[in-house]
Chains A and B, each alone.
Chain A
Amino acid sequence: MRSLLFYACAALLGLSLDVPAAAQEAPPPPIAIVHAKVYVPGGKDPLPNGTVVIDKGKIVVVGDDLAPPAGARVIDARGKVVTPGFIDAESQVGVVDVEEEEQTDDTDARGDMNPALRMVDGYNPRSAVVPITRAEGVTSVIVAPRAGVLGGQSAFADLAGDAVNDAIVRPVLAQYASVAEGIAQHAAGTRGGLWNMLREALEDARFYATHRGAYDANQVRQLSLRRAGLEALVPVVQGNLPLVVHAHRASDIEAALRLADDLKLKLVLSGASEAWMIADDLARRKVPVIVDPLEDLPQRFDRLHSRSDNAAMLQRAGVRVIIATYASHQSRLLWQHAGNAVRTGMDHDAAIRAITETPADAFGLKGYGRLEKGAVANVVVWSGDPLQLSTRVEHVFVRGREQSLETRQTLLRDRYRTLPVPRDGSR
């Protein structure tokens, strides 16, 4: 109780005095969320009366029927639900303001071969999209390139912090390739030509990795990429950086699997509308597969077998399913995308894992996507089932700090809550 009193006093002081910035940023007291339904990792049932304690940016305690530690700020979450902050495994949050205004859009570079491109270089943590996304329970995003045979390197960001260095957790997380319909014809004329381009680029990178000296001395044959591109692909061909391949047609997915086998790549599939047709194979190989459960139409000839229960069928076959939005401004709807996977037959807890643990594990994001001791304290308190339409987000913590739920949209809402709007600057 003492610390609560202290906290209240500090808040008062903060209002009445011009407290120096350093004092304001003193570490907050531990936070104990109690009496909640708590989602825990490893396929275990949620804790019915769980406690989650957050301190110094980390989760320090997760358990059932535990009393909060002395001095903690206590959040009574009776009847509420606590999950890890959701991770959108493929998004464009922070790299585009207005899609229709090209000059504000840093999602795709010119040209087909951009392996050296780093999405982190375009990331803006002050984007209006960031708080809007966070206010619906997404606390981290994989910011991925959208175009190109080799599209570049994604970044992994927490949706908090004003400085890029603050927000970015991993400036380079994975490399991206696409064989989706339209790409091949644009870049190489045919699918075969595209796979040749990809294979040549990766083989050249493997060659380059062991011939850097000769390369610098200008003593190697001509390679298909320039130096920066080759450098970017070295960790891919060494199996250290995942290669995310956008492919929809089952036969295209099979081609990606062959390439990954031949070159010993760490493969992640994305899009994957027809993945359900080869689900057993994908399960056996333990390849992570990123899907959007809302994509159920034969939008193109390379996804004629799209179906809304793709995610559910993959899950039942034992595939490592990840759910993503592929969106920027609507990345905030990750919960709804996952909810629709449940609507079409996916297990509820598997759908939660598909936006927490599974992407964290697939991309080697240690401490993310799970509520357990030692994990990064990205935590969301929901008024009910996180995948349900009527549920609201009540608290969002990123690295242990509670985030404001105010957004540009809530400011607009409040300004126009009653008409006429007073033009005296009061709202």
Chain B
Amino acid sequence: MRLASVVVLCASVAVGACLPPNNNKAPPKLAPPPASVQTDPYAEDEARNRLAVEVREEPHGAPVLLQHATVMTATGQTYAPGYVLMENGAISEVGAGDGPAPKEGTVVVDARGKFVTPGIIDPHSHMGVYPVPNTSAHDDGNEMTDPVNAGLRAEDSFWPEDPAIERAVAGGVTTVGILPGSANLIGGRGVVLHLVPQRGARSMRFPGAPEILKMACGENPKRVYHEQKRAPSTRMGNLRAVRDAFVRARKYAREWDEYVKKQQAPKTVDPRTGAKKDDGEPKPPDRDLALETLALVMRGDILVEWHCYQADDMLAALQVADEFGFRVRAFHHALEAYKIRDVLAKKHVGVVTWDDWWGYKMEAWDGIPENLALVTEAGALGIVHSDSEIWGQLLNQSAGKALAAGRAAGVKLEEEDALKWITANPAWALGIDDQVGTLQPGKRGDVVVWSEDPFSTYAVAMLVYVDGQLVFDRMHVGAPWSDFELGVRAMPPRPASSEGVRTQTPNAGETK
């Protein structure tokens, strides 16, 4: 019921207004809140219709009790052995021991020797917008026609039949942030999706997730537009264009504010007759999808996910954000975050990065494998992303590698820290940490049962639950999710039976 009501609420109000309050421990805003934006009645209709066509079913099915496993909660607490109980799509109990006596109809999973974690969240994926196969017809990730393209929405490019989606789930991923590419300074709105097979992108939307905006600094935008012989073609050109865009957005927001003020102002009274004058209805400003998005950013309703590699580029980006009074939720890629980790920690900016990518472009030249460890040590929020449909299946391995690199450098880290890099912290980066990212009562039932410690090379996800529903079972893989792969796919493989413990399946499906 909870899920359905969230959906309905979202559908019935204006764009941007359905965002849940940000009840995270974010520090106070840096600048006075910018002028608010009153979206117009047409925007309201749009928002309603966006979900009217695509309906997401309320989760149903039996309660699930996972027992006898090592339960890693991503709250700093590990229960070995422990249990997780899921009911009505949500986690209802987590703890040490065997858990409560199962009610009638509960599916009891004996996960002895297995590890249970929250579902992995990949905050930077291009699945669906750059799907496989990489045909020219599928090249829908970068609208390289305007460096400021804030009116775009990644959900409008997303192809739900991308075969990469099911493989990500087989890698333990339950939620992704789908972003437009990085050709543009402002690439458009991303979308947070729950990985369940659906026929359209909108019904995969993570209920109640805030809107997110992809921005990009550094090499990519200036290279793309330099090739087109347009601005920007330099870093200063990048910054100028971003400032210009926010200057226009600020004007746009003021115009709407004035309009709303006029609407709400009492009618003028004729001093002679005492009668109310007919001033006429105030005329609303023309709507602009790009400026609307940026105005919502300045109001704090849309989270900024900013592709930036170099330390100096990130500092410049923070400067612009301060000037216009908006916050950067997270820098993505951020290979040089370790150089400015004190600043990022102080400003509470997330660091969304890989474990060890480096060197493929100039702004990646100083990447080091200890980046995540060092930013974590400094108190900033480290987050692993993939930006890749291959590495997006191996996020647990990326976190494991970054953990090992950090420990070797003398940074004190626990496996729980590495787990947070792929669960609780990306949930924060996407603004959904009140719903997922940890194993706690009340959170959504997004849960993975691993064959062994997830920070082993050999670990595979055995069972994956989304909203308490089993969406992937390695030992019982059926027809592919993607229509494209019908008659073709033969994955994911069942591990060879001689492979020992990690091939044993939990005793799933036993109904008491």
Given A100-B362, A298-B133, A416-B338, check contact A336 B495 (CB 8 Å).
no
Given A295-B390, A300-B133, A387-B457, check contact A412 B366 (CB 8 Å).
yes
Contact between A340 and B394, CB atoms less than 8 A apart: yes
0 or 1 for each of B469-498: is its CB under 8 Å from A? (1 = yes): 000000000000000110011111101100
Contact between B361 and A309, CB atoms less than 8 A apart: no
Q: Which of B389, B493, B499 contacts A308 (CB 8 A)?
A: B493
Q: Does B360 reach chain A (CB closer than 8 Å)? A: yes
Residues of B within 8 A of A (CB): 132-135, 163-164, 167, 219, 338-339, 341-342, 356-362, 365-370, 374, 378, 389-390, 393-394, 397, 400-401, 403-404, 408-409, 455-460, 484-485, 488-493, 495-496, 499
Contacts of A306 in B (CB 8 A): 491
Given A98-B359, A340-B394, A344-B495, check contact A299 B400 (CB 8 Å).
no
Q: Does A296 reach chain B (CB closer than 8 Å)? A: yes
Q: A387 to B456, alpha carbons, bound, how many Å?
A: 9
Q: Which of A97, A295, A308, A316 contacts B492 (CB 8 A)?
A: A308
* B contact face: mostly helix, strand, loop, or mixed: loop
0 or 1 for each of A289-322: is its CB under 8 Å from B? (1 = yes): 0000011111111001111110010001000000
Within 8 A of B (CB), among A209-228: none
Q: Which of A129, A294, A419 contacts B342 (CB 8 A)?
A: A419
Contacts of B490 in A (CB 8 A): 305, 307
Contacts of A68 in B (CB 8 A): none
Q: Does A57 reach chain B (CB closer than 8 Å)? A: no
CB distance from A102 to the nearest CB of B (A): 11
Contact between B458 and A343, CB atoms less than 8 A apart: yes
Q: Which of A100, A294, A304, A409 contacts B488 (CB 8 A)?
A: A304
Q: Which of B362, B393, B460, B488 contacts A98 (CB 8 A)?
A: B362
Q: A264 to B134, alpha carbons, bound, how many Å?
A: 35
Q: Which of B369, B389, B493 contacts A409 (CB 8 A)?
A: B369
Contact between B493 and A345, CB atoms less than 8 A apart: yes
Contact between B339 and A416, CB atoms less than 8 A apart: yes
0 or 1 for each of A208-248: is its CB under 8 Å from B? (1 = yes): 00000000000000000000000000000000000000000
Q: A153 to B404, alpha carbons, bound, how many Å?
A: 37
CB distance from A107 to the nearest CB of B (A): 12
Q: Does A286 reach chain B (CB closer than 8 Å)? A: no
Q: A343 to B132, alpha carbons, bound, how many Å?
A: 23
Contact between A305 and B488, CB atoms less than 8 A apart: yes
Contact between A329 and B390, CB atoms less than 8 A apart: no
Contact between A419 and B219, CB atoms less than 8 A apart: no
Q: Which of B163, B457, B458, B493 contacts A309 (CB 8 A)?
A: B493
Contacts of A165 in B (CB 8 A): none
Q: A304 to B394, alpha carbons, bound, how many Å?
A: 21
Contacts of A395 in B (CB 8 A): none
Q: A419 to B496, alpha carbons, bound, how many Å?
A: 49
The 3 A-B pairs with the shortest beta carbon distances in the complex, nearest first, are A339-B457, A389-B400, A100-B361
Q: A297 to B132, alpha carbons, bound, how many Å?
A: 7
Q: A22 to B393, alpha carbons, bound, how many Å?
A: 52
Contact between B361 and A99, CB atoms less than 8 A apart: yes
User: For residue A327, which residue of chain B has the nearest CB?
Assistant: B360
Q: A295 to B457, alpha carbons, bound, how many Å?
A: 16
Q: How large is the interface on A (under 10, 10 to 19, 20 to 34, 35 or more residues)?
A: 35 or more
Q: Can you list 26 A-B pairs, Cβ within 8 angstroms, ordered by A?
A: A98-B359, A98-B365, A99-B359, A100-B219, A100-B360, A128-B359, A296-B393, A296-B491, A297-B164, A298-B132, A299-B132, A299-B133, A301-B135, A305-B488, A307-B490, A307-B492, A308-B491, A329-B360, A336-B397, A343-B458, A344-B495, A389-B400, A412-B368, A416-B339, A416-B374, A417-B374
User: For residue A304, which residue of chain B has the nearest CB?
Assistant: B488
Contact between A345 and B133, CB atoms less than 8 A apart: no
Q: Does A56 reach chain B (CB closer than 8 Å)? A: no
Given A304-B488, A340-B394, check contact A389 B457 (CB 8 Å).
yes
User: For residue A342, which residue of chain B has the nearest CB?
Assistant: B458
Q: A328 to B357, alpha carbons, bound, how many Å?
A: 11
Contacts of A342 in B (CB 8 A): 457-458
CB distance from B399 to the nearest CB of A (A): 9
CB distance from A204 to the nearest CB of B (A): 34
Contacts of B358 in A (CB 8 A): 329, 409
Q: Does A426 reach chain B (CB closer than 8 Å)? A: no
Q: Does A251 reach chain B (CB closer than 8 Å)? A: no
Residues of A within 8 A of B (CB): 97-101, 128-129, 294-301, 304-309, 312, 316, 328-330, 333, 336, 339-340, 342-345, 387-392, 409, 412-413, 416-417, 419
Q: A308 to B400, alpha carbons, bound, how many Å?
A: 20
Given A98-B360, A329-B358, check contact A413 B409 (CB 8 Å).
yes
Q: Which of B338, B404, B499 contacts A345 (CB 8 A)?
A: B499
Q: A298 to B485, alpha carbons, bound, how many Å?
A: 9
Q: A301 to B495, alpha carbons, bound, how many Å?
A: 26
Contact between B359 and A329, CB atoms less than 8 A apart: yes
Residue with the greatest number of chain A CB neighbours at <10 A, chosen from B342, B394, B455, B456: B456
Contact between B496 and A298, CB atoms less than 8 A apart: no
Contact between B397 and A409, CB atoms less than 8 A apart: no
Contacts of B489 in A (CB 8 A): 298, 305
User: For residue B451, which residue of chain A has the nearest CB?
Assistant: A343
Q: A306 to B397, alpha carbons, bound, how many Å?
A: 21
User: For residue B311, which residue of chain A has the nearest CB?
Assistant: A416
Q: A301 to B132, alpha carbons, bound, how many Å?
A: 9
Contacts of B400 in A (CB 8 A): 389-390
Contact between A388 and B357, CB atoms less than 8 A apart: no
Residue with the greatest number of chain B CB neighbours at <10 A, chosen from A97, A305, A345: A345
Given A309-B493, A329-B360, A412-B366, check contact A297 B458 (CB 8 Å).
no
Contact between B361 and A98, CB atoms less than 8 A apart: yes
Known: A340-B394, A389-B403, A419-B378. 14 other contacts (CB 8 A): A98-B360, A99-B359, A101-B361, A294-B390, A294-B394, A296-B167, A298-B485, A305-B488, A307-B493, A336-B457, A342-B458, A343-B459, A390-B404, A416-B339
Q: A99 to B361, alpha carbons, bound, how many Å?
A: 6
Contacts of B135 in A (CB 8 A): 301
Q: Which of A305, A330, A339 contacts B357 (CB 8 A)?
A: A330
Q: A328 to B409, alpha carbons, bound, how many Å?
A: 24
User: For residue A387, which residue of chain B has the nearest CB?
Assistant: B457
Contacts of B389 in A (CB 8 A): 297
Given A304-B133, A340-B394, check contact A388 B370 (CB 8 Å).
no
User: For residue B407, which residue of chain A has the nearest CB?
Assistant: A390
Q: A243 to B408, alpha carbons, bound, how many Å?
A: 42
Contacts of A419 in B (CB 8 A): 341-342, 378
